[in-house]
Structure 1
Amino acid sequence: MKTILAENVLIKGNWEKDQVLKIKEGVITHIEALSDSQKQREEISERVSKRLIPGYVDTQVNGGGGVMFNHAPTFKSIEIMAKAHRKFGTTTLFPTLITDDIATIESAANAVSEAIESGHPSVEGIHFEGPHLSVEKKGVHLSKYIRPLTDRELATYTRKDLGKVLITVAPENTSCDVIRDLVNQGVIVALGHSNAPFDVVERAIEAGATGFTHLYNAMSPFTSREPGMVGAALLGNNTCGIIVDHQHLHPKAVELAFKTKGPSQLMLVTDAMAHVGADEDVIDFFDTHITRVGNKLTTPDGTLAGSCLDMHGAVINCVNDIGISLEDASYMASATPSAFMGINETLGSIAVGQRANFVELSEDNALANVWQNGEVCV
């Protein structure tokens, strides 16, 4: 049993002072104010003078630590990626495979299955971003791999040894019957990389799609006569991932999304490439390469190629540049993605029964320490 005395803890959206947290086998078993537990003063294992917020949950991680998951879809790659992102407060992530061939999809599934079976503390499932997308809105996804969903892919997506499975599809390339079948088999379906009109998107939502992948980016825009996917995402009762790196979106676009959706339906994602946690600025990407200049990643033709954003950076950008409170930004980085992925009973907040995953912040919101399962890891 470990007992932590924390001077400031974010619990249910409020800052609570001088809280005693008891942790057993990485799980919070008890929380109470110090004034109610004076007798435990001698039992305190650690004192935390800085502020504790929940560990971050990132549902879109393509790479990290110099590794791209597509290029090396192995358990070793997952370990490297998780270690790289943990330094920035991400205690839970979903390795993300972008559009690729079926062999790579199956290898990625096997790698995540191995991570789940081994009890890797960061991995709760997998995100397949494609290949069932729109060529018109493909971004850096390779058009030669974009295709409709087949039985072989369906068999992979519906495996029961992968934890939570998220798949991004374009509704014009994936029928409502297929979406309905995926959802009925426990797959979480998000819409993205799509040029679909509003009514097609609405039918996909009715079929069971519950999320949108990187709001605004690579989707049919909102216009006066055609609300597009952006309009459906902003109007609907769904969860939207959003990349707040100041490269993908204008700050006012983020502000509009926040005012429309609120913190419980807008989740921070990184869409991180291998550059996060790596010194290299140029990293191979399929038959080309991605170059980091400042905080921007592009291919040689200038196409925006994911991000070098980390989750703590996303939180700080929200607070400093969008005017979102730290409490709401924290919610968007932890509770909202946990609820969207259906893991909120054990992750995403600081509460009894939750894993002891924390981000420790200084008064100026700098990241001081990261806790995973009750242990400091940074």
Structure 2
Amino acid sequence: MLSGNLLTTDGWIRGRLHIQDGRIAALEGERADPADNDEPCILPGFIDLHVHGGGGADVMEGSAAVATMARLHARHGTTSLLATTVTAPRAELRRVLADLGDHARTRSAGGARVLGVHLEGPYINPGRLGAQPDAAVAAVLDEVLDYLALAPVRIVTLAPEIAGHMEIIRALAGRGVRVQIGHSAGTYEDGVRALEHGAAGFTHLFNAMSPLHHRNPGMVGAALAHADYAEIIPDLVHVHPGAVQAAARAIPRLYAVTDSTAAAGMPDGAYRLGSQHVTKCMGGVRLADGTLAGSTLTMDQALRNLVSIGLPLADVSHHLSRHAADYLGLADRGRIAPGAWADLVVLDRALALTATFVEGERIVEDA
């Protein structure tokens, strides 16, 4: 049993939550404003749909690295995630996906649930690589379906302006895969067409895509004008706080991701992002030429960042949990309600994380 200020699907209550067999068995309490008491706040566990690593481990190293990453992020409130790949040659992607296919169907004790895979690339624009390795290719449906057979790929990021990609978007959407627009030099019109063909969201909004200009609105303009869902990295480095607020106002189900690398939770130094050498220094991760290369963000810090720029805590919780769950069609995660998984975070009054529960298992910080 947990007690405190519970952010339920019906709003805040001050009361108790009962856990049985890994799920929320019952809720009891009365409506209350958390500002009126000193009880802890209990929110749905965070869901990170774009994470490359953590704790020194990189997803492209395989399932053992994913387990390490899942444990690191669970200690920061992430209760479920998508293991996110980077652009790589076909043979390497097949090897990694085959390995991840087995791990994605299990959960290691002390770690977040791995819900599947986010395939970020290789179907991106070589002119908008960001920190992705230079191995971009145009998508071929048989190859994409081969990847889907190897692992539970839930999201595919691609650039819709590449020849043949509109048809790929339609084919994947018809198979229930969430296709996201990202690493794209496409126009506003390309973005609108991609959404009409079944694209569902945008990958790390504002980053590695054609920007907004009032006479050339680009992919950012297409997202702000038409998207229901989009990712954003709220480390306050990748995106200015004002742009975060604009996106939160324009996109109904904006959801936060970390885009974290192996450097998350680690000291400054040299790490890997797929085949790329990256350096963590002064709170960021960069390539040798200074290009941002993912982040060291954790979801508990994302929450504090979003609150610090003026977003209400309940709204921030939706950006970190509910919207991502809804995006993947997960009715039993990302919310506090009877029957849902007991994926929970407990925060003190300073918004410091004091406990994470993953499917009812309490995750304790390392001493």
1:368 alignment counterpart: 354
Segment of structure 1 superposing worse, 350-359 or 281-290: 281-290
How far did residue 24 of structure 1 move? 2.1
**1:38 matched residue in structure 2:** none
Q: Does 1:18 align with 2:6?
A: no
- Tell me, yes or no, if the aligned pair for 2:119 and 2:153 is still in contact at 8 Å: no
TM-score normalized by structure 1? 0.89
Deviating more after overlay: 107-116 vs 93-102: 107-116
Unaligned runs of 5+ in 1: 36-47
In the alignment, is the contact (CA less than 8 A) between 1:179 and 1:189 conserved in 2? yes
C-alpha spacing 1:119/1:251, structure 2 compared with 1 (3 Å): closer
Counterpart for residue 341 of structure 2:
355
Assess if the C-alpha contact under 8 Å between 1:164 and 1:341 holds in 2: no
Note if 1:126 corresponds to 2:87. no
Q: Which residue of 44, 64, 69 maps to 1:76?
A: 64
Shift of 1:286: 5.2
Q: d(CA) in 1 for partners of 2:218 and 2:157? A: 17
The 1:286/1:356 distance shift into structure 2, 3 A limit, reads: closer
- In the alignment, what sits opposite 1:141? 132
The worse-fitting range, judged by mean Cα deviation, of 265-274 and 113-122 is 113-122
Question: 1:91 deviation in Å?
Answer: 0.7
Runs (4+) off by over 6 Å: none
Q: CA RMSD in A?
A: 1.9
Alignment partner of 1:124: what SS?
strand
Q: 2:76 matched to which residue of 1?
A: 88
With structure 2 as the length reference, what TM-score do the two structures score? 0.92
Higher mean C-alpha displacement, 214-223 vs 278-287: 278-287
Give structure 2 stretches of 5+ with no counterpart: 32-37
1:330 aligns with 2:326: no
In structure 1, the residue matched to 2:327 is 340
Q: What secondary structure is seen at the aligned counterpart in 2 of 1:118? A: coil
The answer for the alignment partner of 2:157 in structure 1 is 168
Matched, 1:52 2:42: yes
1:288 and 1:211 map into 2 onto residues whose CA distance is: 26
1:233 to 223, 231, 236: 223
The residue matched to 2:250 in structure 1 has which SS?
helix
Partner of 2:35: none
| AA of the residue aligned to 1:328 | D
Residue of structure 2 equivalent to 1:113: 101
Query: Partners in 2 of 1:192 and 1:34 — Cα distance?
Result: 44
- Asked whether 1:298 is paired with 2:286, we answer yes
Checking the alignment, whether the CA contact within 8 Å between 1:315 and 1:333 is kept in structure 2 is yes
CA distance in 1, matches of 2:230, 2:275: 31
User: Alignment identity in percent?
Assistant: 34
Structure 1 position 279, deviation (Å): 3.0
DSSP-derived class of the 1:218 partner: coil
Contact 1:157 1:165 in 2 (8 A): no
**How many residues are aligned here?**
354
In the TM superposition, residue 114 of structure 1 has moved relative to its aligned partner by: 0.9
- Residues 191-270 of structure 1 mapped to structure 2, 5 A cutoff: 191-262=181-252, 265-270=253-258
Q: Which moved more, 1:106-115 or 1:52-61?
A: 106-115
| Number of the residue aligned with 1:41 | none
Deviations 1:6-30 (A, max 9, x none): 12111126221122x2322201122
In structure 1, what is the Cα distance between the partners aligned to 2:4 and 2:292?
Answer: 42
- The answer as to whether partners of 1:109 and 1:156 remain within 8 angstroms in 2 is no
